[in-house]
A and B are shown apart, each in its own frame.
Chain A
């Protein structure tokens, strides 16, 4: 039985699930795999036998990815586990941008001791009134798990929804309400939406993607919501657009010295995933992914190796090879197998960046020498044999 060490507390439901399949490991050194939330692992020595690191959550900048890759440790995260939590916060953000609920609640607090507050409220409330979201146009940039959930919620709240995502997955497409209007150009959203929300990862091609030019194309009085990453938005340009009133509200989950001084910004304290349910989902998903990898060799949602899935092991054993993504690796593996008289029954290979995963099932039994020969191939980080299931 594999043993797993929890570096941070996870929910009881997650623990129960974990220890159904795995033994607890008290320390990192004794563990085959770890589950981590926010602990910084950059300064830690990782045991060479560590097979996997599962991050219960989305961001992985507390994990030394390159070091993990080179020693053949697969790092997982749990994208989408917090999708509903973020979706609900986006809905709250839209509603709070539409009527000044915060300003009005503050007004009530300030007048709490005023005896005629009920009457005064009827006069004061004009300054806090606003509009409804039903019937308005919502533009969703990025239709992954979160964006798709937001788009569907918009539809159900009576909004016209435009979705933009040049990399739309089949899974997300399938989950989308059929009345979500799929647009081909970002400009279609910028020019027509009353509310624009962004749900893409921050990388070199998305950083600053909502810049001065994009903001200039937006409708007057637009509301922009950012519950993804602050780096996606050119915040200096946003500050100016808020100042001029071109953007009526910027709702962001990211407090920094620029956002906190913006006019008409609603700055949340990074609460997007801060729900009990999201935490539990992350833990459950992390455990599922560890089970799938440790017991079957399948990789789902890894951030440093390619995702592969051959289903449950069909033969007597399955071999997992983690290696660099360089030419002729598969050729070398298959030559070694052929020389050992092993026929390949099933094989999958998937790259991710500089690394790749190969899963192999063969007809005959393996001996240690085959494993050793594959491990010795230049560029292979780790070779692991998993016994098949008893029929």
Chain B
């Protein structure tokens, strides 16, 4: 029986999926797992009981990842659970950019006491008229869970879609509408697209990737949408391009001192994932990940350990070993196990940065003494034995 502590409200559809093997506890020190949304864990001391932290959401900067890794605590997040929430936001963004719907609504508000507002609207409306999405070219930069959905949605709205992603995975390639044109060079997107939307993580490589030169290469009157991270765009350069009209509209989900002063920007307060469904999906996905890890030792969508999946546990014992990613660790682990006369039936070892995770199915149970010996090897953070 595992106990789980929820640090934030976690949707019941999520906690319900943990199953009979789990109870919820109010005591963080006796819990094997924590479910968290935005609460900060940086100042929390973790007990030795704690095996995993599930973040119902994508961003993990509220969690001390290295400290967790060194204690053998696996941190999970839920990438893609909010994909549809963001996709719908991007569609709304394109439509709000195509016609000045917002300006039209504000005009109606300002004239709400005019008894002839309907007639006046017929004259005023040409200021808010615009274009349609169908037939236009949409460029999608980054074809992960969100980008692939946006690309498909663009197709279903009758757009010509160009997709760019040098790291495209088989999974998302498969999910893409076959009419999405895959381009190998961003310049093809700049040269062709009327709408450009970006869906990549913010890393050292992607920060500022939409800079002055990239913006200059875009078509006159382009609409740029950013529902990923503000750091991806050089916002000073974007402000200037909006000022000259080279970029017609900047639709962004990131309010800051630069975007709020931009001309022709529509700025929303980070609503991309703010839907009930996204919250539910995150909770469900988070619970599924925790359950598979606690019951089977499998790791999916961890941000501090590599992904390992050996299916449901069915041998005599499954052993999870968390170790520093340095030479001869696997050698030491396997010789100790075989030295104890126990056969290794299956093994997977996966590294992620400085840390690695080794999962072993054993033919018979390993004694507590051997497990203690394993744990004392230099560079091993934790050894976890899962018994049937």
> Interface of A with B (CB < 8 Å)?
84-85, 88-89, 91-92, 95-96, 98-99, 101-102, 104-105, 107-109, 111-113, 115, 117-118, 121-122, 124-126, 128-135, 153, 156-158, 230, 254-257, 260-261, 266-271, 274-278
Which residue among A126, A153, A271 has the maximum number of chain B CB atoms within 10 Å of its CB?
A: A271
User: Of B38, B89, B99, which is within 8 A of A89 by CB?
Assistant: B99
Please, which residues of chain A bring their CB within 8 A of the CB of B277?
131-132, 134-135
Task: Verify if B184 is at the interface (C-beta below 8 Å from A).
Answer: no
Q: How far is the CA of A230 from the CA of B119 in the complex (A)?
A: 13
Q: How many residues on chain B are close to A (CB under 8 Å)?
A: 58
Task: Verify if B299 is at the interface (C-beta below 8 Å from A).
Answer: no
Known: A104-B268, A260-B108, A271-B104. A92 touches B92 (CB 8 A): yes
Q: How far is the CA of A92 from the CA of B99 in the complex (A)?
A: 10
Contact in complex: B260, A112 (CB < 8 Å): yes
Known: A105-B266, A274-B126. A156 touches B132 (CB 8 A): no
Contact in complex: A277, B157 (CB < 8 Å): no
Contact in complex: A255, B134 (CB < 8 Å): no
Known: A95-B92, A156-B156, A257-B115. A269 touches B124 (CB 8 A): yes
Please, which residues of chain B bring their CB within 8 A of the CB of A156?
153, 156-157
Contact in complex: A122, B270 (CB < 8 Å): yes
Contact in complex: A255, B96 (CB < 8 Å): no
Please, which residues of chain B bring their CB within 8 A of the CB of A275?
98-99, 129-132
Task: Verify if B254 is at the interface (C-beta below 8 Å from A).
Answer: yes
Please, which residues of chain B bring their CB within 8 A of the CB of A101?
92, 96, 268, 271
- Nearest Cβ distance between residue B91 and chain A, in whole angstroms? 6
Which residue of B is nearest A38, CB measured?
Answer: B122
- Nearest Cβ distance between residue A157 and chain B, in whole angstroms? 7
Known: A84-B134, A84-B158, A267-B105. A274 touches B271 (CB 8 A): no
Q: How far is the CA of A257 from the CA of B115 in the complex (A)?
A: 6
Q: How far is the CA of A95 from the CA of B92 in the complex (A)?
A: 6
Contact in complex: A158, B84 (CB < 8 Å): yes
Known: A102-B105, A153-B156, A271-B101. A132 touches B85 (CB 8 A): yes
9 interchain pairs (CB within 8 A)?
A84-B132, A89-B99, A95-B89, A98-B275, A104-B268, A121-B269, A129-B275, A255-B112, A269-B107
Per-position 1/0 for B235-278, Cβ under 8 A of A = 00000000000000000001111001100001111110011111
Which residue of B is nearest A85, CB measured?
Answer: B132
> Interface of B with A (CB < 8 Å)?
38, 84-85, 88-89, 91-92, 95-96, 98-99, 101-102, 104-105, 107-109, 111-113, 115, 117-118, 121-122, 124-126, 128-135, 153, 156-158, 254-257, 260-261, 266-271, 274-278
Q: How far is the CA of A80 from the CA of B96 in the complex (A)?
A: 22
Q: How far is the CA of A153 from the CA of B158 in the complex (A)?
A: 10
Known: A256-B117, A260-B117. A129 touches B260 (CB 8 A): no
- Nearest Cβ distance between residue B81 and chain A, in whole angstroms? 12
Contact in complex: A274, B269 (CB < 8 Å): no
Q: How far is the CA of A56 from the CA of B164 in the complex (A)?
A: 40
Please, which residues of chain A bring their CB within 8 A of the CB of B38?
122
Please, which residues of chain B bring their CB within 8 A of the CB of A105?
102, 266-268
Contact in complex: B260, A267 (CB < 8 Å): no
User: Of B92, B156, B256, which is within 8 A of A118 by CB?
Assistant: B256
Please, which residues of chain B bring their CB within 8 A of the CB of A277?
131-132, 134-135
Please, which residues of chain A bring their CB within 8 A of the CB of B257?
115, 117
Contact in complex: B157, A153 (CB < 8 Å): yes
Please, which residues of chain A bring their CB within 8 A of the CB of B115?
257
Which residue of A is nearest B153, CB measured?
Answer: A157
Please, which residues of chain A bring their CB within 8 A of the CB of B96?
92, 101
Q: How far is the CA of A260 from the CA of B106 in the complex (A)?
A: 11
Contact in complex: A274, B129 (CB < 8 Å): yes
- Nearest Cβ distance between residue B267 and chain A, in whole angstroms? 4
Please, which residues of chain B bring their CB within 8 A of the CB of A128?
268-269, 271, 274
Which residue of B is nearest A152, CB measured?
Answer: B156
Please, which residues of chain B bring their CB within 8 A of the CB of A102?
102, 105
Contact in complex: B117, A108 (CB < 8 Å): no
The 6 closest A-B pairs by CB, nearest first: A129-B274, A121-B269, A156-B156, A274-B129, A260-B112, A269-B104
Contact in complex: B260, A117 (CB < 8 Å): yes
Contact in complex: B129, A271 (CB < 8 Å): yes
Known: A84-B158, A130-B276. A270 touches B132 (CB 8 A): no
